[in-house]
Amino acid sequence: MGIKPTDLKPTTKFWLFLIGIVVLVFTVILGSFEASWLALNQEEHELILKIAPKLIPFPMLGALILVLIIGSLVSLLFHFYITPLLQLAEKTRLISSVNPDYRVEAKGAKEVVYLTNMINESAEVTQALRTEVEEQIRQARADVDAERTRLAALMSELPHGVLVCNTDGQLLLYNQQAQKMLNQKNGDAQAGKLIGLGRSIFSLIDREPIIHALEFLQHAVSKGQVTPVSTFMITLHGHRCLRVKMAPVSQQTEESRSIFGFVLTLTDMTTQIEQEAMRDSWIQDLSDNLESSLGEIRDAISTILNTPDLPAPMLQENRLKIDSASQLIAERLRQSREEYARLFHSTDSREHVSARDLLEVVGKQLKEKQRIHVETEAAEDLWVNLDSHALAIGIMQLVGAHQSERPLNDLTLKLVPTDGDFASLTLSAYNPPLLEHVVRLWSTAPMYSDDRNQPIDLQELLARWGGSLSLKEVEGKGQLELRIPAQFGKGHLDIEQTLEHRPVYYDFGLFNQAEWGELSHQPLRKLTFVVFDTETTGLQPSQGDEIIQIGGIRIVNNRMLHDETFDQLVDPKRHVPSESVAIHGITPDMVRGQPTIDQVLPNFHHFAEGSILVAHNAAFDMKFLRMKEELCGVHFDHPVIDTLLLSSLVHPNQESHNLEEIADRLNVTIVGRHTALGDAIVTAEVLIKLIPLLESQGIVTLEEAVNASAWSPYAKLKF
């Protein structure tokens, strides 16, 4: 790409123009002398040569004075007209493109000032119209935002991890549950940031099972199956086992139906598999012990049956063997039942329920369905941890059984905390009191079947929760007490808290993401960027200065992802000068004991995987990174673009291109200046504002931006 005249700065244009005028003036004078010389004869030539020392200086002096006068006029022309007009054009583009609130300072000749005032007045009118249109658009988007909020709410409440990918494996959507499952990698401090929009799923999950499942789905879709699903198991990070269900995202064309993405549903099976292994182990132990005990019983019985005249001492000995073995069997069965309940403890459908809400619901059902008077009392701020539906069914069955034998007139439900993590739920009836045999039959009667189709009674259900039940008489009232798990004043602790919005992250524009091989030809607004910044001990990496902080943020499809950031202090293992501390505020105490660069840089390299690196004055930051590549075992071969160079391309006539000046021109608020992450966020916002300005100058793709940046005068900076 060559340099166009419009790419030159005003001072360069001025000197080129002035040099051209000087050359022109002297060319005309010399041409005139040459023409006059040719018109003279020999005698006249001799005469001219004699008087030339007196004749030539005055015309030459006059020419020089003329050049100075013309130069002064040209300088005034540039100062009052050309330069102000060029700056006016750039700032007018700011108003129309990225900063509608920006107003141009009126300076230059009277005519230029008049034009500036007209542009500012037009900007005011345009801003009023823009505000009106934006308000209408905002109202039109209200329904879309409501739908998005409902989607986010649904995704956040799902108990499973959900991922949506395109056929290249790039993440288009993920929820918080998926982030928790996939981001636990070897205790890495930055593991929580490894999952992200636009990243490859293959960096998180082994490639082979996904490719195999995708081939199966493509075959099924090509055969006309509407909703094929593939299920497989994976082991994550060597210790977590996930069950993955994979379903296609397909589209129907006139010719065929094809897959352009897929949905993964993740279920953590680690606990269940461990429990099943433990269950199999104690079942095997139980079988072995029962077989041994039953063998002893069979031997003793065979001895008694086969020896009718067995002496009394031997008969007693065999009877004791039978008794001892049967007691051992009973004890083993009791232990097995308790173990089974314990293993099932974490897989039941328990939930945290307010004690007050639970009793209100149960009391309302009893009043409506059993037609009895119910009073409820619950401790304030008490939460119970159980299957509220199962408990409500149990209480309804008890009252129903009692009504068929002896109708109850009133019932009192009271739920209060007791010892440790348990609460006492008491059911009290008076006139008539609760009947003991009805309670006994009810507590052992099956209520429903569990997910293994095994019948469950209330006693077993309470045992699974670690509780119990008992019946006693208090002041003439039959009182049934259920001991159930609870949390007093802690119910809110298990509720996930989110800061700004629900933790669902998606960008379906990535469905159309091109191959990485075509990266250079892709529009800037369609690329994935990692905008980063470093804070250092000084400005001379070649003389031993070190990185003490790295911050970065990702941009996907021209959208900044505030939930996908990198922010890490680095122990430089050297002194941090006070001059540097005065700039970035990072003291030696803050970095002492932090990870060293050989630990941090590989994490940042992984964070930036598959992205374009962006920095302001990128040559400085890249010099620090590349000097540590060999030490850290990484290589930063990413394409790099510089917002300093891009700013000089869109505003070549502005005097300054430091980050503060650019942010002010583009209406970007600066927060956290001279912190790595703060500067990275500001630079990211600047990049997003620069992209439409670049597009207006015909710089659309990554290749065009890189080539154009090479012609910036700031591209010569080296570190």
What are the residue numbers of the active site?
674
Q: Is the peptide bond between 432 and the residue preceding it cis, with omega within 30 degrees of 0?
A: yes
Residue 591: both structure tokens together: 């970095």
Closest among 86, 70, 119, 120 to 5, alpha carbons compared: 86
Question: What DSSP letter does each residue of 50-119 carry, written as one string?
Answer: HHHHHHSHHHHHHHHHHHHHHHHHHHHHIIIIIHHHHHHHHHHHHHHHT-TT--PPP-SSHHHHHHHHHH
The DSSP symbol for 656 reads -
| Cβ-based neighbour number of residue 259 at 10 Å | 18
Burial of 433 (0-12, 13-18, 19+ CB in 10 A): middle
Closest among 247, 234, 245, 248 to 182, alpha carbons compared: 234
C-alpha angle 321/327/331, rounded to 5°? 145
What distance in Å separates the CA atoms of residue 197 and residue 170, rounded to the nearest whole number?
Answer: 7
Name residues whose C-beta falls within 8 Å of residue 281's C-beta, 6 or more positions apart in sequence.
none
What distance in Å separates the CA atoms of residue 495 and residue 497, rounded to the nearest whole number?
Answer: 6
What distance in Å separates the CA atoms of residue 74 and residue 78, rounded to the nearest whole number?
Answer: 6
Closest among 413, 410, 415, 438 to 427, alpha carbons compared: 413
**Could you tell me the sign of the dihedral formed by the alpha carbons of 386, 387, 390, 392, in that order?**
positive
Given a contact cutoff of 8 angstroms between Cβ atoms, the answer to whether 571 and 165 are in contact is no
Burial of 478 (0-12, 13-18, 19+ CB in 10 A): buried
Residue 699: both structure tokens together: 């710089």
Helix (H) or strand (E) holding 388: helix 388-405
Name residues whose C-beta falls within 8 Å of residue 30's C-beta, 6 or more positions apart in sequence.
none
